[in-house]
Amino acid sequence: MNLARKLILLVALLVCFAGINAGCGLVRREERRAAGEVSRAARKAEERSGEIVWRVKTNRKVVALTLDDGPDPKYTPLVLDLARKQRIKLTFCLVGREIQAHPELARQEVAQGHQIGNHTWDHPGMTLEGERQDVSEIERCEDEIERISGRRTHLFRPPKGLWDGEAFIAAETLGYRMILWSVTLEHHDAKTPEAMAQRVLDGVRPGMIILAHDGEPGHTVHCERTMQALPLLVAGLKKKGYELVTVPELLKIGAEAR
């Protein structure tokens, strides 16, 4: 286990320790850590290390474009149509209840060769949940992913990118790599689709993970401008010589560059 990995686990465990009650106890945490060490050893060859990823180190001009909070019948078909026309592969971080409501869209994402990630069942604030509830949120979503795709994912993105020690341990124990992002397409400083795309293009670097949305849980993000910005962003990235890949492909490229 390298130093960076040890530090991540140490910080997560310290945060967890501060937020749990006395009943949780050191014994339970040690048992989880021991079980996690065994499962991590078995998963190492498959790159499921529990690390938190914002970006990968590479000199190759590749980025991963990720879409959160779907599938949504209004917006997801537009994204899939863009991806098909532009011949790009995306990573969709799906909400379990939305998969249940729109399974045909999730199946279409898989059929077109896109990658699926777990974005919880109900899109809660995971810093407000206990570990048991965190596990339930992840597992319920995963059950839906397996039901529509026939396979499980090992990518997890916490809603709004918020996580604490409990959420980290839940994802770690279940065998996920936590995927965050380097830059967002939607941002309060960018008021128009053109400004949204340009903001990302101005700051893009090899190995970045770009966050956008094709769903609106809680209506915290409105996707009309996103749908207009996405074609501009994809065209701009290609003009700059960037290839759009899935998150697992990006992780593999990063691992090969080490």
As annotated, the active-site residues are: 68, 213
Backbone angles phi, psi at 19, to 5 degrees: -100, -5
Give the start-end residues of each E strand in the chain.
52-53, 62-68, 91-94, 115-118, 155-156, 177-179, 183-184, 209-213, 243-245
Element holding 191 (H helix, E strand)? none
In degrees to the nearest 10, what's the CA dihedral of 46, 64, 147, 128?
90
Cis peptide leading into residue 77 (ω within 30°)? no
Distance CA 39, CA 210 (A): 30
SS3 content of the chain, % helix, strand, coil (to 5): 55, 15, 30
